[in-house]
Each structure stands twice: as structure tokens, then as C-alpha cells.
Structure 1
């Protein structure tokens, strides 16, 4: 059945807006060429989108004669402002952007483990409000949050998880109360990191891959045929509970000790380094200067120095840099452990590509990725490429921003009628 005129207009408008988002400012003639629409149809949609305040004239094309045909149209970036949050066990990172995703301001709020729920939430919300003010935004349209733990697929809420601060679950409600009108969404941090790697990082050429998160704990995000898979209960990728050889016991429904977490979590990595004769991780101060977090700015470094998994990451990063005999033994033993969990994922999903993320995965970089890939070739008949994260410490924030931006654009650009 042919589309109704209103549906056709909505589809054409969304197509033009997506092109302006991807390509930058375009003339009406360029929109005609890229969309395949007629000149009158393009003229109508330009008038319609301009009247709606979604696009505006931003200059003239130097390749055409001056006049109406040379006008360059671009999305009104200030039509909506967005916030992205990376919520950690010991703090929160915040950035504020315009509708095009250009970062306008950043802030951070380190939060001690003994801070009560109320004060912790207040510090986190204050960091958001500070970034909003510094970014010159009157109000926020959409807030995207990345947090550890499971997300209830039915409600979209962060589920109560053992070992995570109580203020995490209270933060969403507080933001909704203090930011009236803002759409607040929360997603698992590993899922957001995978989304960012798919759009901007190591998996840009892959529509099927697994992100293996190696940090304080371990986890995975699964992207199949271009779509993030969350599972029936939102628990896809909870591989910390994966029973594996090499542990003293089996995990339980309430405790992942004895699972893959016991082999590759931060505490296990530090213990392995000690067994290999490596020095214990040093003081926190300045340790993350080489963590590749420039994309998240100084705000990221302020919290990440005390973030979970940072001590283990320093051990791995130092081992890669020194490359002594003891370091080599440690890195090979670590790759053995990581490959055990990765091989199980590969056997079930056959993703063709595994990206190593999280603090430890990033610290190991291409060296650890290469060692794990070598072991997978011996352990599995399924060809699997292993890559290091391409986004460093900014992956969760970038994923949260992408999510917020797409939700805002879907609402502002309009959904086509069905």
C-alpha cells in the first residue's frame, strides 16, 4: 500500500535531516542529488524544516553562483542540549553537548565509598548542573546514563545489584526531579561502550562482534547483525558468572567468585602479577596520564585515577611498557585466562571479532589483544579477530552521548506514521 502524503513527508524530512547530520551543511541542490527527490519536493521540505526550527541557513556554497541556490542549510545545533553520564562506583563523569554532539562542557564528581546516598546523589546532580551552566544550556532535552549493573528490559530501570552503591539507583529519580522536562535513560556501561566502539571505535567495520569488558569485574556486550542484544532479563554478557576451569569453586546465583571473574577481574589480575614477581600497583596519583582518556578530557582523569580496576590496569600497562621476562610471563598468563572466557563466548556466538575494553583491556592494548587472538586460534576452529578498544577511557561517555543524541533526534525529527 502506498504511503500517505503525511507519511511520505515525514520519511523525506527524516532522510534529509539524517543527511545533514552525517554530511554537514548542504545546499538544496545537494539534498536533491543525495535524496533522489524532485526539486519541488526538496524545496517544500526545506521550507517545512526551516519553519519548524530544525534547520537554518548557515552560509553559502563557494562552488555555485551566489543566490538562493547557493544557500547552505544545516541542523540547528542549539535546538536541544544533551548530557551524558558515566557513573562509576566511586564517582561520575559528565559532558554536555548540542544536538550535533559537539561537547560544550565537562564536569566530574569523585564520590568516596563512605559517602551516604543523599550526599552522593547531590554531588552527582550538582556536577550535571554545573556542566549545564558552563555549556550555556538553558535546559536539557535528553540525558543518557551509563552505569554498572543490570537494566530491567521491561522498565528500563537499573536493577538492585549486590556490590554497587545505593546512590546509583537513586540518581535517575533525582535527575528527573531536578531537570524537569528532560528525558532520562540508563543503560549498562558495557553495552554503551560497545555501541561507541561500533559507531566510532574499533568495530566500525563490524555488524557482529563482542566487547569483552575487563575491569574491576568482567562482562561482555553482544552486537549481532548491527543490533545490541540484551537478553530476556537484560543479562546478556554477565560472563563473570561463567563457570571456567582454573578456579577453586563454582559461581552461585548471588556470587560470581569461582566464575570467570575469579580469573580475569582486577583482584585476580593483581594477584597474578604478584605471582609473576611484578611490583604491586603504586599510588593512584597521576597513574592514568597514559590511559588514553584524552577524549573524555580532564574530567575523566579526575575520577578515573580512583576508579575500580585502575590498579590492575597500571600493572598491565607497566608490563606492556617494560616487556621484561617477568612481564612477558605475566602477559602470557593473563592472555591464557582471558582466552578461556573469550573462547566460551566465541563457541556460542561465533562473532568473528572480539574487542577488549575496560581498564585492563585498554591497558593491554594491541599486545594483549594479539596474545589472546593467538590462543583463540589454537582453542577454537572459528576464526576470530581480537582488537583493542579504539576509544580508550571515553567509550562509555561516547556511548551515552550517542544514545541521548539519537533519542533526541528521533523525537525532534519526528517518527514516520505506520
Structure 2
């Protein structure tokens, strides 16, 4: 069935706005060239978007820089404001940004294990409100939360998972009540994969797996450009993967005995101790990641460091090989605190082992986004949802 005129207009509007987001300000002629639309259609959509308060003339281009054809149109960045949160067991980080994703303010607050649920929720909500105020933002349009745990695909809510603080699950409701904003929740590893896909090391890949090596172990699966969550939201719960080299098997409520017992933070700390690797504590970095970073720094001069990294690569390759055998993604990205600390030194070792273990050609890349991958992914998700709502209101009404 052909699209109705209103839906066709909405599709054209969204296409033009996406281009303005990606390319920056453009003239009507440039929009015509990039969209393939006719000159009258482009003129109509420019007028429509300007009337809706989504775009405005931001300058002029061309040699003469005069007249309607020279006008540069750009998205009005303060049409909506966004917040992204990275929620961890030990605290919360937040950024506030405009509709183009430009960060206006950021902050974080530690939340200790002894903090009560109500107090923890209040601290997190207050942090968002204070950061928005510092950014000069009166109202947030969309808030995206990245958190560990499973997201229920039916409700979009964080599921009750053992080992996670209760305040994690209550935070989204509290933000919705206090801010009157659209609040979204997504698994942190999935958001890191979204960031790597859009602005990170996997920009050239439609299919890849992101392996999260941090306090816990997780994976995100992107197939044919789409993030796959699974029937219950559990795609990538690789910490529960039964693997050789552990003392038992994981259970439905605990991943001890699974891949987590080989490559989680506690296991890496024990492995470093067994190899005689030590490292001073680093501010805001888990000790396991600090140990890996210290070993990487000495990898060319220390047999102890080399032995530790080789043993760690052996373990990581076991989990990665299992994923590769099922999905054949062609690319694995090592992320999380430990993956980032290992960098290309660890990635190269894992790559060499996978080449021996599997007939399936697989690149192994180290994350390039540093510690902000989850926040970057959350901000991207918030921006896309806000733009979907702002850019195509007629399409939604038609449906």
C-alpha cells in the first residue's frame, strides 16, 4: 500500500533532519542533492520544519553568500534537552545535552552499599535535577538510563535480578514522577555496543559482538545493524556460559561456575596474584582493570606481565570462541573497564588465540570510547527517541 501524503511528508522530514544532524547545516540545494527529492518538495519540507520550530537559518553559503539559495538551515539544538545516566552499583553519572547531542553539563555522585533504597533514589534524582539546572535547562524531554541487568522486552523495565541494588529498579519511576520526562532504560552493555556502532570502533560493521569485561561479564549482539535482545531480554548473558576451567556449573540465580568465574573482576584479581602481578589502586578504576593496565605497561619487558596477559587472553578467548561458533559475527569488540585497560595488547592476544581455535575469521578490536561508552550510548538512545517524537508527529497520528 502506498504511503499516505502525511506519512510521506513525515518520512521526508525525518530524512532531511537526519541529514542535518549528520552533516551539519545545509542549503536547500544540498538537501535536494542528498535526499534525491524534487526542488518543490524540499522547499515545502524546509518551510514545514521551520514553522514547526525544528530548523532555522543559521548562515549563508556559496561564493556570493546572498539570496534564498545561499541560506544554510540547521537544527534548533535547544528544541529539546536530554539526559543520559550510567547507573552502577557504586554510583551514578549523568550528562545533560541538547537535541544535537552537545553536552551542556555533567556530574556524578557515589552511592555506597550501605545507602538505603529511598536515600539512593533521592540522591540520583537530585543529581539529575541539579545537573539540568547547571546546564540552564528548565525541562528535560527524554532521559535514558544505562544499568546492569536484564530489561524486560514487554515492559522496558529493569528486571529484578539477584545481586543488584533495589534502587536501580526504582530510579526510572522516580525520575518519571519528578521530571515529567520520557524515561527509557537499557542494559549498559547494549548501550556500549550502540555507542561503538555509531561513533566508536565498530562504525564499519553491521554485525559484531561487544564483549564487556568489567566487574561482571556480558555481551551485546548486533546483527545486520540491529541490536538483538532475545525473547526475555537476556541475549549476551555470557557470564552464565558453562566453560571448562571452573569448579562447577552456573545456576539460574548465580553465574559462579560460568564464564564469569574465569574472566570477571574477582577472577582476574586472583589470576594476577597467581602470576605475581601487582598494581597501585587507581582512582575511579576497578582494581582488576588497574592490574591489567599495569601488566600492559610492562608487557615488553616483564615475563611476569606477559605470562599474566597470555593467561588472561586464554580465558577471554574461551568465551569469545563460544559466541563466534554460534553467531559468526566476524568482529568482537573488547570493552568494559578490563577490556579498555587491556587495549590493543590484550586484543591482539585474543585475536591470535581465536585464529587457532576457530575456522571462522574474526577481528578483535579494543574499544576506543574510554569510560564514557555507556553514557554515549544512553545519550544516543535519548536523542533518537526524542527526534522520533519531534520529527514525525504526523506519522504517529496517522497510525
Q: With the length of structure 2 as denominator, give the TM-score of the two structures.
A: 0.97
Q: Which residue of 2 aligns with 1:11?
A: 11
Counterparts of 1:74 and 1:396, CA distance in 2: 28
Question: How many angstroms does 1:44 deviate by?
Answer: 1.3
Aligned mates of 2:166, 2:6 — CA distance in 1? 47
- In structure 1, distance between residues paired with 2:254 and 2:145: 26
Q: Report the equivalent of 2:188.
A: 189
Structure 1 stretches of at least 4 aligned residues deviating more than 3 Å after TM superposition: 62-65, 415-418
SS of corresponding position for 1:153: coil
Gaps of 5+ in 2: none
1:282 to 262, 280, 283: 280
Which of 305, 308, 317 in structure 1 is aligned with 2:293? Answer: 317
Structure 1 gaps of 5+ residues are 289-303
Structure-1 residue corresponding to 2:324: 346
Which residue number in structure 2 is paired with residue 363 of structure 1? 341
CA deviations 1:249-288 (Å, max 9, x no partner) are: 1111111111100000000000000000112x433xxx25
Provide the secondary structure at the position in 2 that maps to 1:203.
coil
Q: Distance in 2 between matches of 1:40 and 1:112?
A: 60
Residues 299-318 of structure 1 mapped to structure 2, 5 A cutoff? 304-305=284-285, 310-318=286-294
Alignment equivalent of 2:355, drawn from 348, 373, 377: 377
Aligned length: 394
Q: Structure 2: how far apart are the matches of 1:36 and 1:214? A: 44
Distance 2:287 2:392 in 1: 46
On the 8 A contact 2:11/2:392 being kept in 1, the answer is no
1:250 and 2:249 are equivalent in the alignment: yes
Cross-structure match for 2:376: 398
Distance 1:253 1:12 in 2: 48
C-alpha deviation, 1:63, in angstroms: 3.2
Residue 38 (structure 1) shift: 2.0
* Superposition deviation, residue 410 in structure 1: 0.2
Aligned residue among 388, 394, 398 for 1:410: 388
Cα distance in 1, alignment partners of residues 174 and 83 from structure 2: 15
Q: Please state how far the C-alpha of 1:53 moved relative to its aligned partner.
A: 0.4
Pick which of 81-90 and 10-19 moved more.
10-19
Equivalents in 2 of 1:376, 1:360: separation in Å? 19
The residue that corresponds to 1:152 in the other structure is 152
Indicate the residue corresponding to 1:36 in structure 2: 36
**Offset of 1:19 from its aligned partner?**
1.1
Q: Aligned partners of 1:2 and 1:282: how far apart in 2?
A: 65
1:165-176 equivalent positions in 2, closer than 5 A: 165-176=165-176
The normalised TM-score by structure 1 is: 0.92
Output the CA distance in 2 between the equivalents of 1:188 and 1:6: 35
Return the alpha-carbon distance in structure 2 between the equivalents of residues 8 and 170 of structure 1.
40
Counterpart of 1:103? 103
Instruction: Report the equivalent of 1:230.
Output: 229
How much is the aligned-residue C-alpha RMSD, in angstroms? 1.1
The 3-state SS of whatever aligns with 1:149 is coil
**Alpha carbons 2:266, 2:288 under 8 Å: kept:** yes
Give 1:65 shift: 4.1
Find the counterpart in structure 2 of residue 298 from structure 1: none
**CA separation in 2, counterparts of 1:63 and 1:236?**
54
1:96 is paired with a residue whose SS is: strand
